């Protein structure tokens, strides 16, 4: 591993470090060519371009690479019992799994689920 890569990985917080600070959307796919991954990226790109304020961090696990967190792919695959195919999981600030799907999440489902969370409702007062 290069020193630059090691430094970049060390700079990314782990999911445990994000607990109570960020909601996490885990998007896992077997390869970068996965059509569901491409669709979820497209959906998220249009959603986040609107300046979303829901404290959401996207963590992608593609093959054995992780982007958005300092955890390793094998550790995340074990922890969340990720199957070989596409999976999307929404994790709340409390670290609990809120949604899981083998299909890309539409933005309306993400918005409704996050907006119903107690910490989100408390933050809007």
Residue 3 in domain: no
Q: How confident is the model at residue 67, as a pLDDT?
A: 95
Per-residue pLDDT tens for 32-73?
A: 999 999 999 999 988 776 656 788 899 999 999 999 999 999
Q: How confident is the model at residue 10, as a pLDDT?
A: 54
Cα–Cα distance measured from residue 70 to residue 38, given in angstroms and rounded to the nearest whole number: 22
107 with 49: CB under 8 angstroms? no
Residue 6 in domain: no
Residue 5 in domain: no
Give 85's DSSP letter: S
Domain count, the chain: 1
Please give the model's pTM, rounded to 2 decimal places: 0.84
The neighbouring-strand residues paired with 88 are 27, 101
Average pLDDT over residues 1-24: 74
The CATH number of the domain holding residue 61 is: 3.40.30.10
State which residues form the domain around 57.
Answer: 12-124
Residue 109 in domain: yes
Q: What tokens appear for 102 in the block?
A: 């083998």
Per-residue pLDDT tens for 76-91?
A: 999 999 999 999 999 9
Count of alpha carbons within 13 Å of 75, Cβ hemisphere only? Answer: 8
Residue 1 in domain: no
CA distances from 52 to 39, 46, 49, 57, 92 (A): 19, 10, 7, 11, 16
Q: Is the pLDDT of residue 123 over 70?
A: no
Angle at 97 between CA 8 and CA 104, to 5 degrees: 75
CA dihedral 116, 79, 64, 69 (to 10 degrees): 50
């Amino acid at each position: 591993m290069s020193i630059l890569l090691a430094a970049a990985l060390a700079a990314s917080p782990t999911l445990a470090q994000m607990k109570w600070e960020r909601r996490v959307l885990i998007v896992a796919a077997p390869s970068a060519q996965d059509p569901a991954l491409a669709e979820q990226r497209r959906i998220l790109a249009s959603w986040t371009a609107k300046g979303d304020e829901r404290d959401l961090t996207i963590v992608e696990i593609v093959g054995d690479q992780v982007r958005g967190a300092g955890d390793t792919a094998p550790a995340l695959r074990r922890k969340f019992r990720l199957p070989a195919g596409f999976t999307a999981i929404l994790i709340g600030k409390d670290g609990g799994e809120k949604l899981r799907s083998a299909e890309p999440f539409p933005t309306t489902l993400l918005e409704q689920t996050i907006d119903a969370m107690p910490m989100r409702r408390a933050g809007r007062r």
